[in-house]
């Protein structure tokens, strides 16, 4: 029985060597191109994953808050970033009406303050085309939110 297993293993190895040598000889460029495309695809996916993690927040707490904002927004916010635990930037979706932008900024500022207390905070609201449309600043001393539209 052991003899037949050894013969079968040897035949499998020989078949594999023959297949690899013929496919390499007959289709070197297409095989190499496919391999290069596969490697490039994996590298691109890794870079995009790293970018997503870095873009969402530059601290673990900021990244977690950004992830929560996206999940809690139910499609109203397309993208978010948190920088230095005091600056929040959000890209709204086309679902957000222009009349609701100020209320959304206020809600975000309040939630941001709850997660990052004891400091002045800035919330930047961007349109779907990523143009800044509103800046909301939360002042810790007055506990007020001031709004400023870009000129």
DSSP string across the chain: -HHHHHHHHHHHHHHHHHHHHHHHHHSHHHHHHHHHHHHHHHHHHHHHHHHHHHHHBSSHHHHHHHHHHHHHTTTSEEEEEEETTTEEEEEE-TTS-GGGHHHHHHHHHHHHHHHS-SS-EEEEEE-TTS-EEEEEEEETTTTEEEEE---
Q: What is the pLDDT along the chain (151 residues), one digit of tens a residue?
A: 666 665 565 455 544 444 544 544 554 455 555 554 544 454 444 444 444 444 688 888 999 999 999 999 999 999 999 999 999 999 999 999 999 999 999 999 999 999 999 899 999 999 999 999 999 999 999 999 999 998 8
Based on the structure, what is the number of domains in the chain?
Answer: 2
Does 67 share its domain with 138?
yes
User: Residue 87 maps to which CATH number?
Assistant: 3.30.300.190
* Predicted pLDDT of residue 5: 61
Same domain for 68 and 114, yes or no, is yes
- Quote the pLDDT of residue 122: 97
pLDDT at 58: 83
Q: What is the pTM of this model?
A: 0.63
65 and 118 belong to one structural domain: yes
Domain that holds residue 84: 58-148
């Amino acid at each position: 029985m052991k003899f037949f297993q050894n013969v079968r293993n040897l035949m499998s190895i020989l078949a594999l060597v023959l297949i690899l040598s013929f496919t390499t000889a007959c289709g070197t460029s297409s095989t190499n191109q496919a391999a290069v495309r596969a490697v490039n695809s994996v590298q691109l996916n890794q870079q995009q994953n790293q970018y997503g993690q870095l873009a969402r927040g530059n601290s673990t707490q900021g990244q977690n808050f950004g992830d929560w904002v996206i999940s809690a927004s139910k499609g109203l916010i397309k993208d978010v970033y948190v920088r230095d635990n005091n600056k929040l930037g959000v890209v709204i979706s086309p679902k957000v009406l222009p009349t609701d932008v100020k209320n959304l900024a206020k809600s975000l500022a309040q939630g941001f303050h709850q997660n990052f207390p004891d400091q002045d905070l800035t919330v930047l609201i961007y349109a779907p085309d990523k143009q800044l449309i509103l800046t909301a600043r939360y002042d810790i001393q007055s506990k007020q939110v001031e709004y400023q539209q870009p000129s």
